[in-house]
Amino acid sequence: MRVLLIAALLLPLVTSAVIALRAALIPRAGDPVPQAEIIVVLGGGVEDGALKGASTRRVRAAVEMLGPNQRLHFTGGLPDPISEAAAMARLAEELGVAPARISVESESRNTIQNALFSREDLAGRRLVLVSSGFHLPRAQLLFRTAGLDVVALRRAESAAPLRRAWSYLREGLSFWLNLGRVAAWRLGIIDYSRS
């Protein structure tokens, strides 16, 4: 029993360290990814209709790297009073992106739903994911599990070291929680269809 308790405590910490090392290898957003057709921006929070810092950084990074033949896809529900995706699309338009180059998925509440609910818009296309470094390894796994072709990752994250450290620790738990969600979804225990 004691060994199981120690393992249960160490597993998220080791996972956090592995994720941090993996994320350090992911290029920062900025350089274009010419082989990608769509830049997928994952929501980082919205409050009272205003984007939180993570979402704003992700949108700015995606707009900066947007190539002439690429489009942006914003994903994230959590309406407050508008969804993360809608608020991110609005910022992209304010930054000069034509609405015809933007698609939005506004119903998802977590990363696996980001992937599943975006499949219709993204299937058969080459994607680059833009998110915070701590989030990208899990997001890549979930998007690929959903059958989507992720060809590159780009990170846009806070420069605050304590905030990043906390995010990596939290992600060590989230990673295992999401693996459980994927297993339950694959076994038919959880239904991630749109309600």
**Tens digits of residue pLDDT in 79-109:** 778 899 999 999 999 999 999 999 999 999 9
pLDDT of residue 124: 95
Report CA dihedral (115, 167, 78, 153) to the nearest 10 degrees.
-30
Q: How many CA atoms lie within 13 A of 128 on its CB side?
A: 30
Which parts of the chain have pLDDT scores under 50? none
pLDDT of residue 191: 87
Residue 98 makes CB contacts below 8 A (sequence gap 6+) with none
What is the phi/psi pair of residue 12, to 5°? -65, -35
Whole-number average pLDDT of the chain: 87
Question: In which element (H, E) is residue 175 found?
Answer: helix 161-186
pLDDT of residue 111: 93
pLDDT of residue 159: 65
> What's the fold here for domain 18-186?
Rossmann fold (3.40.50)
